[in-house]
């Protein structure tokens, strides 16, 4: 297990390197000059432009800049934002917590609601409720996140006034060590629901299919014959078996959770990484773009690894097979 | 299926951890943050929206209106501009005199100006702040504001330790001596770049002032949550008197549709970037007022087919229906443009004919230009930076030109790519033949658009993206700079404008800008200003609603 974990962690390094290089190349292929934006955009003094390029070493060839950047990040220095003049680590710290809170809340919501809906549909297989859940699942997965976000905002905030329209709130709980604030809880609901609806459908469908498949197995009949109650059979036997594919779906949907967060953050004015990344791209703030991509890639890769490691916990028969199965 | 006891235990522990983790995440959704503490009932809080974070709050680096929306309330310079009349009024300086040769400006500082860190503002602070903006190491894009001061060039190049034309005979007096008469100088000193800052805060290698700026204006920044909100509090010792508002929350909301809903729901007291199709319930909240800016499609005069062909440029001008554009397609605060100097700015020419929509004239001029019915024209591309409004404008221009036989393509790119294609370099033109652009005057003086945008010394990135070179035009603009008589200056500017508009048709003249802002009915004391919606002075606002 330890060997497997080390191998997988080492495997993260080339992925991060490849992502860094790819983003660097793309940023250099994009037209636009960060020095110009730093110098005040239109009408910038050419002498100041030259000075800025020299100060940030933007006048060096791209590959030299990239090599230097790689050297820096290996020592843990992500550089300084061209636009904000602050360390990239500080910029990431400001934006990571909002995205983490949003993604975790959405993942939790999607998992619980998806499993519940899937179980509900499986229990009523072939009936109207089953059809309704399946339809909702397809709708949820295929609705554009922008549209969904605006719809929820209009209905539950603007019309019914149940939740704030947007924003993160300014008076959430201050986390002592991190130095960043949690959102005010009522501000979190609509963005989290929007994001959760993206993956909830897939989880519900997979849960339904898994439970139906598990229901056909003899061990359930054996458990029933032993006198186990329906609840126990469902929780201890059927659901546990069905959770493996659910975890797979959740792992696969991490990317849509992260990319969906960009659109959700935009509509709900959520101060997360997605928003920071889009703005940094527009301003050609390469160090911040690189920092965001590195962080998001690392989160994605590590979260996928965590999902793999969770398999044996959900189904002990998979203990010791992770290394082979992944 | 046989497992050891220890293994069973570890699986159980891990399973419990997994459940805990999932429940913990769910707890976030359910809400683990405490209830928002209710503000004191008497506190007056004003909330307005910015579409994104200000790029900087350092007054020496501010060049955009988002930054100005905050810094204009935090900082003050020697003089200020009355937002309504655009007259120069006292600020940190209570009075000033200008020598008869217009070279020596003597400012007398007020006795009751304090920085927000509690220290009194002195003449030495003014001198240090000015030297900071001029210093090479600062790389301030606003250095040009202070370059008219004698000896600034030598100081910038490091040849002298001090600026020769900058003197502080005592704690309350600042004397600025210019190299040559420069009429807009006092106007330029009202800009944020010429703000006075305390040395003990701004002489900081770690740049802590970027997040916690200190000025001597009516509000102090107390919190900046990136991409979320900036909070300012009223400064008790502001020399103009404590503002009636206790707290200002600047909320960062990028999506306009979301911001409108937030305004309707009561989460904002004011909103900029008002959409033209407003819901009925907030239509009455709209305030429209002129803005000192001008919108146009620029022609690149170094590229074919516009190079050396004023008849073609005039044909394009006549072909586009500006009235339809601003009265039907995009009704709002903008008005059809006829020239360069916007209304309200000295030198504005209300009799300038411009190019009213006339397809027949457009066709005739096209033939005169060598392209009858548009035949023989090379491919032409109109560049715009990404925005819904820019796209609509470009499509209308394209449709109008099509009516006279001219086909153009539209290229929409993001700002960074766009500005590169527009500016080119001093030596080489950019790739954009035609481009939609707007110019907001930094200070209310025709110099701020005529010289910066069209003087041949500024070809390329400094501002003359059209690469317009006309010695007669340059002469008039240069002359106006040295004149002290306002009427004589306005005359030079009017003549220069006619030359660029009616003779050379350097742009396709689209519009004079206007501002449109929503204010809730309980917001009183709003002073609409041609300086733009973000320069409406917050210190004059009052909130007259129950319970606020």
Domain ranges of chain B: 45-269+520-543, 290-514
Check if B112 contacts A (Cβ < 8 Å). Answer: no
Work out the average pLDDT over A274-300: 87
Work out the average pLDDT over A173-190: 85
Label residue A323 by pLDDT band (50, 70, 90): very low
Alpha-carbon span B267 to B253, nearest angstrom: 11
Q: Which of A 162-191 lie inside 8 A of B, CB atoms?
A: 164-173, 181-186, 188-189
Q: Which residue of A has its CA nearest to B65?
A: A40
Residue given tokens 């209830």 in the structure block: B35
Q: How far is residue B270 from each of residues A150, B260, B265, measured CA to CA in Å?
A: 21, 10, 12
CATH topology of domain B45-269+520-543: D-Maltodextrin-Binding Protein; domain 2 (3.40.190)
Cis geometry, peptide bond prior to residue B245 (ω within 30 degrees of 0)? no
Q: Supply the pLDDT for residue A319.
A: 57
- On the question of pLDDT at A324 being above 90, the answer is no
Q: Supply the pLDDT for residue B31.
A: 42
Residue given tokens 């097979």 in the structure block: A321
> Between chains, do B252 and A183 touch, taking CB under 8 Å as contact?
no
Helix, strand, coil percent content, chain B, rounded in steps of 5: 35, 20, 45
Q: Which of A168, A316, A319 is most worth mutating to test chain B (most B CB atoms within 10 A of its CB)?
A: A316
Q: Which of B 235-254 lie inside 8 A of A, CB atoms?
A: 249, 251-254
Alpha-carbon span B220 to B231, nearest angstrom: 8
Of A34, A188, A271, the CB nearest to B29: A188
Question: What is the number of CB-based contacts under 8 A between chain A and chain B?
Answer: 208
Whether ipTM tops 0.90, in short, is: no
Residues of A in contact with B61 (CB under 8 A): 40
Instruction: State which H helix or E strand residue A211 sits in.
Output: helix A185-215
- What torsion do the CA atoms of B408, B412, B416, B418 make, to the nearest 10 degrees? 10
Alpha-carbon span B344 to B531, nearest angstrom: 10
Rounded percentage of chain A residues whose pLDDT exceeds 90? 11
Check if A51 contacts B (Cβ < 8 Å). Answer: yes
- Tell me the shortest Cα–Cα distance from B368 to chain A, in angstroms: 34
Residues of B in contact with A199 (CB under 8 A): none
Q: Supply the pLDDT for residue A218.
A: 66
Q: Which of B 123-152 lie inside 8 A of A, CB atoms?
A: 136, 139-144
Instruction: State which H helix or E strand residue B175 sits in.
Output: strand B173-177
SS (H, E, C) B406-434: CCCEEEEECHHHHHHHHHCCCCCCCCCCE
Q: Supply the pLDDT for residue B6.
A: 39
Q: Supply the pLDDT for residue A320.
A: 53
- Tell me the shortest Cα–Cα distance from A26 to chain B, in angstroms: 13
> Between chains, do B31 and A312 touch, taking CB under 8 Å as contact?
no
B242's tokens: 């404590």
Alpha-carbon span B510 to B151, nearest angstrom: 41
Q: Supply the pLDDT for residue B120.
A: 97
Q: Which of B192, B258, B464 is most worth mutating to test chain A (most A CB atoms within 10 A of its CB)?
A: B258
Check if A49 contacts B (Cβ < 8 Å). Answer: yes
Q: Which of B384, B386, B387, B348 is nearest to B494 (CA)?
A: B348
The whole-number mean pLDDT for each consecutive block of 10 residues of chain B, a chain of 548 residues, reads 38 39 42 45 89 90 88 96 91 96 96 96 97 91 92 93 96 96 93 96 87 95 92 96 96 90 93 85 92 96 96 97 94 93 92 96 97 95 90 95 96 85 88 94 90 92 91 96 89 97 97 94 94 91 77
Q: Supply the pLDDT for residue B207.
A: 82
- Tell me the shortest Cα–Cα distance from A50 to chain B, in angstroms: 10
Q: Which residue has the higher pLDDT, A33 or A162?
A: A162
Q: Supply the pLDDT for residue B264.
A: 92
* Beta carbons within 10 angstroms of residue A90's beta carbon: 15
Residues of A in contact with B247 (CB under 8 A): none
Instruction: Tell the CATH superfamily of the B290-514 domain.
Output: Dipeptide-binding Protein; Domain 3 (3.10.105.10)
Check if B223 contacts A (Cβ < 8 Å). Answer: yes
Alpha-carbon span A279 to B414, nearest angstrom: 11
Ordered by where they begin, the domains of chain A are 95-318 (1.10.3720.10)
Residues of B in contact with A113 (CB under 8 A): none
- On the question of pLDDT at A325 being above 50, the answer is no
Q: Supply the pLDDT for residue B340.
A: 97
Q: Supply the pLDDT for residue B361.
A: 97
Q: Supply the pLDDT for residue B523.
A: 96
- On the question of pLDDT at A322 being above 70, the answer is no
- pTM value? 0.81
Residues of B in contact with A151 (CB under 8 A): none
Q: Which residue of A has its CA nearest to B193?
A: A40
> Between chains, do B416 and A276 touch, taking CB under 8 Å as contact?
no
pLDDT tens, A40-73? Answer: 665 567 777 788 888 778 888 888 888 888 888 8
Backbone angles phi, psi at B228, to 5 degrees: -125, -60
Q: Supply the pLDDT for residue B271.
A: 95
Work out the average pLDDT over A130-137: 87
SS3 (DSSP) at B435: strand
Check if B89 contacts A (Cβ < 8 Å). Answer: no
Q: Supply the pLDDT for residue B26.
A: 41
Instruction: State which H helix or E strand residue B250 sits in.
Output: strand B247-252
């Amino acid at each position: 297990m330890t060997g497997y974990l080390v191998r997988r962690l080492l495997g993260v390094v080339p992925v991060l390197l490849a992502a860094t290089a790819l983003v660097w190349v793309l940023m250099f292929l994009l037209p636009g000059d960060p020095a110009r934006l730093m110098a005040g955009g239109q009408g910038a003094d050419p002498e100041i432009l030259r000075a800025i390029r020299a100060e940030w070493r933007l006048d060096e060839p791209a590959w030299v800049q990239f090599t230097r950047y790689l050297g820096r990040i290996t020592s843990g220095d992500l550089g300084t934002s061209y636009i904000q003049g602050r360390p990239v680590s500080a910029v990431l710290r400001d934006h990571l917590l909002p995205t983490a809170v949003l993604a975790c809340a959405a993942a939790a919501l999607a998992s619980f609601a998806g499993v519940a809906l899937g179980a509900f549909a499986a229990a009523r297989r072939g009936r109207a409720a089953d059809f309704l859940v399946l339809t909702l699942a397809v709708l949820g997965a295929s609705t554009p996140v922008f549209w969904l976000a605006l719809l929820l905002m209009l209905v539950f905030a603007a019309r019914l006034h149940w939740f704030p329209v947007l924003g993160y709130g300014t008076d959430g709980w201050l986390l002592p060590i991190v130095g960043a604030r949690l959102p005010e809880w009522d501000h979190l609901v609509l963005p989290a629901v929007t994001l959760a609806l993206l993956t909830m459908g897939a989880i519900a469908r997979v849960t339904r299919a898994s439970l139906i498949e598990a229901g056909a197995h003899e061990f359930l009949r054996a458990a029933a014959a032993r006198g186990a109650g329906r609840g126990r059979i469902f929780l201890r036997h059927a659901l546990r078996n069905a959770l493996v594919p659910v975890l797979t779906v959740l792992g696969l949907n991490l990317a849509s959770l992260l990319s969906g967060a960009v659109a959700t953050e935009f509509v709900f004015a959520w101060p997360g990484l997605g928003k920071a990344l889009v703005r940094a791209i527009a301003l050609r703030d390469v160090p911040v773009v690189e920092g965001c991509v590195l962080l998001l890639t690392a989160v994605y890769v590590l979260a996928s690894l965590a999902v793999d490691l969770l398999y044996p916990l959900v189904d002990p028969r998979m203990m010791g097979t992770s290394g082979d199965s992944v | 299926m046989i497992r050891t006891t220890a293994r069973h235990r570890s699986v159980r522990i891990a399973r419990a951890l997994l459940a805990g983790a999932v429940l913990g995440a769910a707890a976030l959704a359910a809400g683990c943050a405490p209830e928002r503490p209710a503000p004191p009932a008497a506190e007056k809080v004003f909330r307005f929206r910015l579409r994104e974070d200000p790029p900087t709050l350092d007054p020496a680096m501010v060049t955009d209106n988002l930054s100005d929306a905050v810094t204009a309330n935090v900082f003050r310079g020697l003089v200020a501009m009355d937002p309504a009349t655009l007259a120069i009024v006292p600020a940190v300086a209570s009075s000033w005199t200008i020598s008869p040769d217009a070279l020596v400006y003597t400012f007398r500082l007020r006795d009751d100006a304090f920085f927000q860190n509690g220290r009194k503002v002195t003449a030495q602070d003014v001198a240090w702040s000015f030297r900071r903006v001029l210093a090479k190491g600062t790389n301030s894009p606003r250095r040009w504001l202070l370059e008219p001061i004698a000896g600034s060039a030598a100081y910038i190049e490091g040849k002298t330790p001090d600026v020769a034309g900058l003197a502080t005979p005592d704690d309350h007096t600042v004397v600025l001596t210019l190299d040559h008469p420069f009429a807009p100088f006092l106007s330029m000193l009202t800009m944020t770049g010429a703000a006075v800052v305390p040395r003990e805060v701004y002489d900081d290698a770690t740049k802590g002032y970027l997040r916690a700026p200190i000025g001597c204006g009516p509000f102090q920044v107390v919190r900046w949550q990136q991409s979320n909100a900036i909070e300012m509090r009223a400064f008790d010792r502001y020399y103009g008197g404590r503002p009636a508002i206790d707290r200002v929350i600047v909320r960062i909301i990028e999506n306009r549709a979301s911001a409108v809903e937030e305004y309707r729901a009561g989460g904002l007291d004011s909103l900029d970037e008002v959409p033209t199709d407003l819901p009925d319930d907030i239509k009455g909240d709209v305030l429209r007022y002129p803005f000192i800016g001008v919108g146009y499609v620029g022609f690149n005069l170094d590229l074919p087919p516009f190079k050396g062909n004023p008849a073609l440029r005039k044909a394009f001008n006549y072909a586009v229906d500006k009235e339809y554009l601003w009265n039907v397609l995009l009704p709002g605060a903008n008005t059809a443009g006829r020239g360069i100097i916007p209304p309200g700015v000295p030198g504005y020419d209300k009799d300038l004919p411009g190019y009213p929509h006339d397809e027949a004239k457009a066709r005739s001029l096209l033939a005169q230009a060598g392209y009858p019915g548009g035949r023989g024209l090379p491919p032409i591309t109109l560049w715009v930076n990404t925005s819904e409004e820019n796209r609509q404008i470009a499509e209308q221009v394209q449709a109008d030109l099509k009516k006279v036989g001219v086909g153009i393509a539209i290229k929409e790119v993001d700002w960074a790519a766009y500005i590169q294609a527009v500016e080119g370099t001093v030596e080489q033109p950019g790739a954009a033949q035609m481009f939609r652009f707007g110019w907001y005057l930094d200070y209310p003086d025709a110099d701020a658009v005529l010289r910066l945008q069209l003087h041949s010394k500024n070809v390329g990135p400094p501002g003359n993206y059209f690469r317009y070179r006309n010695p007669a035009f340059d002469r008039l603009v240069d002359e106006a700079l040295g004149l002290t008589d306002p009427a004589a200056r306005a005359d030079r500017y009017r003549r220069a404008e006619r030359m660029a508009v009616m003779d050379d048709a350097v742009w396709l003249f689209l519009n004079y800008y206007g501002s449109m802002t929503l204010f809730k009915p309980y917001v009183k004391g709003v002073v609409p200003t041609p300086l733009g919606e973000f320069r409406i002075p917050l210190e004059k606002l009052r909130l007259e609603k129950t319970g606020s």
